[in-house]
Structure 1
Amino acid sequence: MTQLSLRNQLVTVFGGSGFIGRYVVQKLAQQGARVRVAIRRPEEGLFLKPMGAVGQIDIVQANIRMPMSVQAAVKGADIVINCVGILHEGGAQKFAAVQARGAEVIALCAKEAGVKKMVHLSAIGADAASGSRYAQSKAAGEAGVRRHMPQATIIRPSVVFGPEDDFFNRFAALAAFAPALPLVDGGHTKLQPVYAGDVGAAVVQAALDDAAAGQTYELGGPKVYSMKEIMQLTLDTIHKKRLLVPVPGFALKPLAFALELQPLFAPPITRDQIELLKADNVVTEGAKGLKDLGVSQPTPVEGVIETYLYRYRRGGGKFEPRFS
């Protein structure tokens, strides 16, 4: 395993203020890297600065739909990491624009700038033949990255959990007011939730390890759950009893469509996510994974979700995100 030191290396992180990106930025700072965080709204990334020494973390404006801003963000960088992703579409933020074309633009600009290393965050389930536009765009993004940076490392996590997640938090929030929760197609789909901190550590290790160049890694936690088990675990954690009602995916799509149309809040479920739930989201047997990137003991779900889902219990409580 040949590694370079990240000390004083300039690493540009696209999407560094996002759910996973913030863990990547923290781990990079701990390694002594100079971190350039490239995001659409720089003021929203100011909370990252205390994760490093004075001047170690720089926040710059970049929009992956605007190549000139991407060129500026990668200029002089030793390593580029792409953590940009969306879970549902809204306005100009479309899967094809962000996760397919955006990823390719970053890779192309990195190549033109002479960057030697790139780590691209994709997802288990990335598949050009999928019925989900999310999965299709992830596959297209991987292909675009490989087209320009064949030496890039592809990281494919399963569902990612942590204090800021849009997974366990979403179900817990729904359970706070809904008398029943739907189990899409019976809740039999298998998932392998992986902790955001472990994903962040794996991404940084991929940037460190020369042997990771050109490789693809699938990241999953220590246990596989069905969707029904995940919903029940969420309810047990927040001390609530709710009906879990099996609903065919096709029957749920009209409601999902209506929720997508309203402008007041992010939809709790979309038609595209229903499509995603038709396929299991677990690490492929024999795939390289967390252990190959230095995470020998993946963090279990049960050891973390209680530290942030407790606020959905009766009486609530102050929520303080923590990074580790």
Structure 2
Amino acid sequence: MQLFDTRRLGPDGLAVIVGGSGFIGRYLVQELARTGVRIRVVVRNEPAALFLKPLGSLGQIEIISADVRSPASLAQAFDGATLGVNLVGILDESGQKFDSVQHLGAAAVARAAAHAGVEAFVHVSAIGAASDSPAQYARSKGDGEAAVRKLLPVATIVRPSIVYGPEDAFLNRFAGLARSLPVMPVIAGDTKFQPVYVRDVARAIVVALADPARFGGKTYDLGGPRVYTFRALLAWILKEIRIDKPLVDIPPFAAKAMAQLGKVLPGMPMTYDQWLMLQSDNVAVLPGLAEFGIDPTPMEAIAPGYLERFRTAGRFHRDRAA
């Protein structure tokens, strides 16, 4: 494994993290704080991000309010910045629109970073991002990548597969469903995923910021050490939370019909856009994390520790002897 000296970021730098109070953001702030760099976290809801302050030393982390839909607020946020990261993204359109956040918003962040003259910039996208994708999510991510690359050629783009960690919206979501449903429905069970640990993603971002000469202008897929089918992932979740329920495959025509209902009925378990995304594998192209000197963390080493809360007796659960 190759080691990179991230201490070179130093206290003279100012890293601006847009969307830094989210799932990946809290780990990125922690990893960046260890390098000594000053950090400015840009969020829409400033009070909700105050939990990040103790992750650094006194005065190291600043929280400010701005919006990717407001160029003026972003320009102020990047004032004096030497480094930049864009983490802003949404999983559905229940509150905002994909294009306004993941395409136009990404362009606005890159433009503000370029005007500030940042030395390094990382844009977090997703595997499957493509401007010609039938899924709005992937299409907006692809358009966002293109906009960032045009406005800020020095940018490093990272595309994680499904990101797992204690606060994730994937393993936790399906573990919760497993507890509440009589059976575990399986849609597109052969679709492949390569779950990647959130802290590994954060470390890759820090390494990219520390060495723009090597990583700038390039795009990297980030995946964990193992590829799973969707069905295998669901089976593993059931095993870890000690719930014995059958996995029931939903025929493609029925799954598509249910997903289409999501266009008109709120609260459906899957949107049509998410169904479209499930039609393609979510697997990283090498070299991925290895290029950043990171050995990917196995899901089995981390996820059981936070999935245990879904067991009947939580952390006090004891398996019966055979």
1:131 aligns with 2:134: yes
1:299 aligns with 2:303: no
Q: How many residues align?
A: 311
1:177 aligns with 2:180: yes
1:79 aligns with 2:74: no
CA displacement at 1:315 relative to structure 2: 2.4
Instruction: Give the 3-state SS of the residue equivalent to 2:180 in structure 1.
Output: coil
CA displacement at 1:198 relative to structure 2: 0.3
Residue type of the alignment partner of 1:150: P
Q: Distance in 2 between matches of 1:59 and 1:172?
A: 33
1:30 aligns with 2:34: yes
1:191 aligns with 2:190: no
CA displacement at 1:288 relative to structure 2: 3.5
Q: 1:261 to 1:28 in 2, by over 3 A?
A: farther
Instruction: Give the 3-state SS of the residue equivalent to 2:85 in structure 1.
Output: strand
Q: Distance in 1 between matches of 2:222 and 2:230?
A: 18
1:288 maps to what in 2? 287
Contact 1:126–1:136 (8 Å) recurs in 2: yes
Structure-1-length-normalised TM-score: 0.91
1:59 maps to what in 2? 63
Q: Deviations over 1:242-289 (max 9, x none)?
A: 2211113442244345556666x6x542211111110111112xx331
Identity of aligned pairs, percent?
47
Instruction: Give the 3-state SS of the residue equivalent to 1:304 in structure 2.
Output: helix
Q: List, as ranges, runs of 4+ consecutive aligned residues in structure 1 with deviation greater than 6 Å.
A: 1-4
Q: 1:289 to 1:179 in 2, by over 3 A?
A: same
How is 1:237-316 mapped onto 2 (pairs within 5 angstroms)? 237-258=240-261, 268-284=269-285, 287-295=286-294, 297-316=295-314
Contact 2:6–2:35 (8 Å) recurs in 1: no
Q: 1:150 to 1:309 in 2, by over 3 A?
A: same
Contact 1:189–1:279 (8 Å) recurs in 2: yes
1:43 aligns with 2:47: yes
Q: Distance in 1 between matches of 2:86 and 2:156?
A: 10
Residue type of the alignment partner of 1:307: G
2:320 maps to what in 1? none
Residue type of the alignment partner of 1:208: A
Contact 2:16–2:84 (8 Å) recurs in 1: yes
CA displacement at 1:298 relative to structure 2: 0.8
- Root-mean-square deviation over aligned CA pairs: 1.8
Q: Distance in 2 between matches of 1:30 and 1:171?
A: 33
Structure-2-length-normalised TM-score: 0.92
Instruction: Give the 3-state SS of the residue equivalent to 1:305 in structure 2.
Output: helix
Unaligned runs of 5+ in 2: 317-322
Residue type of the alignment partner of 1:54: L
Q: Deviations over 1:109-164 (max 9, x none)?
A: 11122223210001111112222111101100100001100110000111100000
